[in-house]
Amino acid sequence: MSGIPNNNQANQNFKNTPVNPNGAILVWDLDKTLVANYFDMVTSIEEPIINTNALRTMNTAMKGNFSANMMLTNNGNLRFIQFVIFLMTKKYNEMFPDEQVAFLFSVIYTAAMNPGGTYKDPRVPDNTVPQSKNDPGYAAKRLEDVRNMCVEGEIPADNLAERVFFFDDLPNHIIRGEINHYIQIQPPFNTVDGDLTDYSPVLVFSERNKQRQRKTRRKNRNERRK
């Protein structure tokens, strides 16, 4: 298991456009980060509350110095993930009607990967991973997982420590010590109004590097004129 069904289709779609090797890579957790209420689709008809601050952040990032938008979750409910992605894409296209994106995420992993190629998914037997959700080693997402996702999505993976923006409500994933921009969702996402998260690092990165690109282009143009 390396992702959700139809993920290949999404990847194929992204492969048509060359990926910027220096841009931001946004990596999102799902529960309590992109949506508030994890729910049981069998017994509940309540729709998930979607983090529209996150959608706005994606929109700004995509217009700047950008490489990829990805999801790394330990939620193993594929139907829930598919449903949330459907709702998020619909909401995004309502908020930004000029864009009409078909896929919001270029790579989606439903569980983190171990070096041996096994998954930290409770459905996949793997005795190196703590089985209890209360164990701090469970769901310990690493930069290595993001690197694997880049390989799958054919996303250039140089300088990941500077380019990865990792969004998660949990403060203690391994990747926190491996990258510059660990953006903790605070408090764990519940409502848009109650969201106190500082999303600005990715917005600053996008804008700063956009300006740098523009300057370089201008410089090249001026040099050509000499």
How many other CB atoms sit within 10 Å of the CB of residue 4?
A: 19
Name which of residues 163 to 182 contact Mg ion (CB under 5 A).
Answer: 169
The yes or no reply on residue 195 touching Mg ion (CB under 5 A) is no
- Which residues of 49-117 form beta strands (DSSP E)? 66-72, 107-109
CB of 61 to Mg ion, least distance (A): 20
Among residues 4, 10, 14, 31, the one that binds Mg ion under rule CB under 5 A? 31
Give the separation between CA 219 and CA 189, rounded to whole angstroms: 44
With CB under 5 A as the rule, give the number of residues binding Mg ion: 5
Q: Does residue 121 interact with Mg ion by CB under 5 A? A: no
Read off the amino acid at residue 96: F
- Among the listed residues 139, 133, 68, 78, the one whose alpha carbon sits nearest the alpha carbon of residue 106: 68
Residue with Cβ nearer Mg ion (33 or 148)? 33
Contact between 32 and Mg ion per CB under 5 A? yes
Helices and strands per DSSP (H, E), number in the chain: 6, 5
Residues sharing a CB contact under 8 Å with residue 129, sequence separation 6 or more, in sequence order: 114, 120, 137, 138
Does position 29 interact with Mg ion (CB under 5 A)? The reply is yes
Report the C-alpha gap between 47 and 44 in whole angstroms. Answer: 8
Neighbours of 40 (CB within 10 A): 9
Nearer to Mg ion, 184 or 206 (CB): 184
**Cβ-based nearer residue to Mg ion, 34 or 157:** 34
Calpha distance 155→19 (Å, rounded): 6
Reduced to 3 states (helix: H, G, I; strand: E, B; else coil), residue 28 is strand
- 142: contact with Mg ion by CB under 5 A: no
Q: Return the number of the residue (33 or 67) whose C-beta is nearest Mg ion.
A: 33
Compute the least distance from the CB of residue 118 to Mg ion, in Å: 22
To Mg ion, the closest distance from the beta carbon of 169 in angstroms equals 4
Q: How far is the CB of 7 from Mg ion (least distance, A)?
A: 20
Q: Which is nearer to Mg ion, 28 or 66 (CB)?
A: 28
* Binding-site ranges for Mg ion (CB under 5 A): 29, 31-33, 169
